[in-house]
Amino acid sequence: MSAASREAGVSGIPSDGLPVSGRIHHVATVVRDLDAAVKFHAEVLGLPLEQIADVPSQEVRIAFLTAGDSKIELVAPTNSTSGVARFLEAKGEGFHHLCLEVADIDAELQRLAATGIQLINAVAVEGVEGPVAFLHPKSCHGILVELIEAPGGPAWKRLGYGDPAQLRIR
Ligand code: ZN
């Protein structure tokens, strides 16, 4: 992309805000077998594995792999009744959500709610990699959008995260 076309893109952002850093934090896919999917991404695609974590509240096991300045999140259900399990049953493996990084997630959620965007989380909740919230696909042209607050933002303190440097966020 040329410098000129990048400037044109940036100038399209309203001057009254949109505290989105512009970075795609991660793209998430739902997979049936987490270990097999990790093996494929790490050994075939050559992406470094960052972490594997259980998320009991979501009834899933996830993995993050580094992809340049962004990441890939693999999500596998741990039972047959969770939301992700039902997604997998209905649609099969594949794209699940896009995660964008923002500077102040709760301020951003307020701004989006005021413009009529349907929020799944009205305030940020604790995610594996930082404070997160989801926007409803109905408001996002069919894409499930996740927001994550950049390390050290205000919601990190509110949700009791430790030092971001310790979490190997980037
Ligand atoms: Zn995610």
Percent pLDDT > 70 in the chain is 83
* C-alpha 148 to ligand 1 mean position (Å): 8
pLDDT for the residue 162: 75
What does the pLDDT look like over 121-157, one tens digit per residue?
999 999 989 999 999 999 999 999 999 999 989 999 9
* C-alpha 4 to ligand 1 mean position (Å): 31
pLDDT for the residue 161: 87
* C-alpha 14 to ligand 1 mean position (Å): 26
Domain ranges of the chain: 19-96, 103-161
* C-alpha 124 to ligand 1 mean position (Å): 13
* C-alpha 28 to ligand 1 mean position (Å): 6
Q: Are 29 and 93 in contact (CB under 8 A)?
A: yes
CA–CA gap between residue 12 and residue 39 (Å, rounded): 40
Q: Are 51 and 63 in contact (CB under 8 A)?
A: yes
pLDDT for the residue 13: 44
* C-alpha 133 to ligand 1 mean position (Å): 9
Which residues make Cβ contacts (< 8 Å) with residue 28, sequence separation at least 6?
72, 73, 74, 75, 95, 96, 97, 98, 99, 146
Q: What is the CATH number of domain 19-96?
A: 3.10.180.10
Per DSSP, 68 falls in state: T
**pTM of the complete model:** 0.83
Q: Are 24 and 100 in contact (CB under 8 A)?
A: yes
CA–CA gap between residue 135 and residue 145 (Å, rounded): 5
pLDDT for the residue 165: 57
